[in-house]
Structure 1
Amino acid sequence: MEDFIAESQNSKEILNSAKLLQSVNIHALIFGEIGVGKKTLAKYIVPNAVLFDARELQNDIVQNLIDIKKESIIIDKIENVTNVDLLIKWIEDNEIRVIATTKASNLNPKFLELFSITLNIPPLSQREEDLKLLTQKFSNEASKVLRVDKIIPSKLMLNTTKNAHSLRKSIYFSYLFETIGEDEILMFLENYMLANLKGDNSYKDFLYLFEVPLLKASKKKYKSQVQMAKHLGLNRITLRKKLEIHEELL
């Protein structure tokens, strides 16, 4: 079973609470963004529990397809349950212990009454030590799976917008990027554009695919807009306009 990484202080506190939950028979809710480790933590609390998708579990209960009594289960994405009363009655009638996960901040109040404790897992941006360990883990994994030498950390392109999900994908991409050249990059762009080419303003629609990564790279490499404009061969007014146009993507 995959371990819940807890090197950061806030993660250590969450793991300590999870350890206590292993020995007490109460319902618990695990809240957090996508990719923060909710299911991993739930499996840590109840290692032998069956994992159910909330929507599928509700359908099985409605159709009377499930026969479980006096067991612990994990319900993933409990915010997707539409018949809350049905699920709670089934839990109570069959003496089920539930560890549930959710990314919803506005969960049905009846669920909030059901769960005795809530564990809130912060995003990786607030867990610096955990991020380092996950980066090392995914880097080792990518090197082994792709059968290439490990690349130095400074060459890894790290995307944590979806926490561990996007981090893992970006690290694999970093390894793949090391093996491709300009011809392959142009081929990828050509195939993407070919599949999505439509409308009467395609040139303008696709221009951001070139401009955004170039502007991002320039912002990282040069200390000021003056230096960016000089090395990109643009005047400062043109550069400023482009930065404003692509502000949301930068």
Structure 2
Amino acid sequence: MEEFIAASPNSKEILNSAKLLQAVNIHALIYGDIGVGKKTLAKFISPEARVFSCHELQKDIIDKVINIEKQTIIIKKVEEITNIDLILNWVEKNEIRVIATTQAKTLNSKLNDIFSITLSIPPLSKREEDLKLLTQKFSNEASKVLRTEKILPSKLMLNTSKNAHSLRKSIYFSYLFETVGEDEILMFLENFMLTNLEGENSYKDFVYLFEVPLLKAAKKKYKSQVQMAKHLGLNRITLRKKLEIHKELL
């Protein structure tokens, strides 16, 4: 079973609450963004529980092919339930305990009312100690899977936009990148553009692929916009315009 990393103060509190839920038979809701560990925490609370998607569970109930009584189940993305009465009636009739996960900030009131407790898992950006441990874990994993020496932490390109999902992917990419040279980078870009080349403004549409990584690298390397402009060979007005154009990607 995958471990729920809990080294940060806020995640330690969540794990303590989850330990209490192991001993009480109440419905619980776990909220958080993609990749924060909702399913892992649910399995920590009830390791033997079967995991269902909403579509799968509804279909099994309608088709009468599910035979569960007085057990705990985990429902992923509970906000996607389309027949709430069907699920709730089945849960009550069969004395089912539900541990559900959701990315939705609000649920249908009828569905929300069944949960006695909600655990909210913060993103990795607010769990510094957890991020460090997960980075080490995924780096060890990538080194083993790809059969290569571990690379320095400073060389890891960490993407936490989708928490653990994007973090793992970015670390694997960091290891692969160690074997990639300029020719391969140009080849990747060429293939990407060839696949997506269309319309009459393709140059304008694709220029961000060059400008965004360059601006990101300059922001990391130089301490001020004055230094960025100097080393990029741009005047400050042009630099500010480009930073504004690409601000959502920077």
Q: Output the TM-score relative to the length of structure 1.
A: 0.98
Aligned residues: 250
Within 2, Cα distance between the matches of 1:15 and 1:229? 47
> Per-residue deviation at 1:249?
1.1
Find the counterpart in structure 1 of residue 100 from structure 2: 100
Q: 1:42: which partner in 2?
A: 42
Q: Distance in 2 between matches of 1:239 and 1:13?
A: 44
Equivalent residue, structure 2, for 1:21: 21
In the TM superposition, residue 223 of structure 1 has moved relative to its aligned partner by 1.1
Counterpart Cα distance in 2 of 1:5 and 1:241: 41
1:240 corresponds to: 240
SS in 1 for 2:230: helix
Q: Which residue is equivalent to 2:181? A: 181
The ranges of structure 1 where at least 4 consecutive aligned residues each deviate by more than 3 angstroms after the TM superposition are none
Structure 2 unmatched runs, 5+? none
Q: What's the % identity of the aligned pairs? A: 78
Instruction: Tell me how far apart the structure 1 counterparts of residues 242 and 16 of structure 2 sit (CA, whole Å).
Output: 49
Matches within 5 A, 1:4-19: 4-19=4-19
For 1:98-124, what per-residue CA distance to the aligned partner results, in whole angstroms no more than 9, with x for missing partners? 111111011111122101111111111
- 1:79-94 equivalences under 5 Å are 79-94=79-94
Structure 2 equivalent of residue 197 of structure 1: 197
CA–CA distance in 2 between the matches of 1:18 and 1:228? 47
Deviation, 1:66, is 1.4
> Which residue of structure 2 aligns with residue 116 of structure 1?
116
CA distance in 2, matches of 1:16, 1:239: 48
Q: Corresponding residue for 1:213?
A: 213
SS of 1:67's partner is coil
- Report the Cα offset of residue 63 of structure 1: 2.2
1:63 aligns with: 63
Distance 1:99 1:206 in 2: 45
Q: Where does residue 33 of structure 2 map in the other structure?
A: 33
Post-superposition shift, 1:65? 2.2
Q: Return the alpha-carbon distance in structure 2 between the equivalents of residues 96 and 141 of structure 1.
A: 37
Corresponding letter in the other structure for 1:149: E
* Corresponding residue number in structure 1 for 2:145: 145
Q: CA deviation at 1:247?
A: 1.4
* Equivalent-residue separation in structure 1 for 2:237 and 2:22 (angstroms): 61
Secondary structure of the residue aligned to 2:113 is: helix
Deviation at 1:230, TM superposition (A): 1.2
What is the rounded CA distance, in whole Å, between the counterparts of 1:215 and 1:236 in structure 2?
A: 13
Please state whether the residue corresponding to 1:247 is helix, strand or coil: coil
Q: Supply the distance in 2 between the matched residues of 1:218 and 1:82 (Cα, whole angstroms).
A: 48
Stretches of structure 1 that go unaligned for 5 or more consecutive residues are: none
State how far apart, in whole Å, the 2-side matches of 1:198 and 1:14 are.
48
Aligned equivalents of 1:28, 1:156: Cα separation in 2: 36
Deviation at 1:240, TM superposition (A): 1.6
- Following TM superposition, by how much is the alpha carbon of 1:224 offset from its aligned partner in structure 2, in angstroms? 1.3
RMSD: 0.9
Larger mean CA deviation between 38-47 and 219-228 belongs to 219-228
The one-character-per-residue Cα deviations of 1:155-181 (angstroms, maximum 9, x if unpaired) are 111111110000000111111111110
CA distance in 1, matches of 2:248, 2:122: 24
Q: Equivalent residue of 1:40, what SS? A: helix
SS at match of 2:240: helix
Per-residue displacement from partner, 1:40-89 (whole Å, max 9, x unpaired)? 00001111111101121112212222121111111111000011111000
Structure 1 distance, partners of 2:177, 2:149, is 13
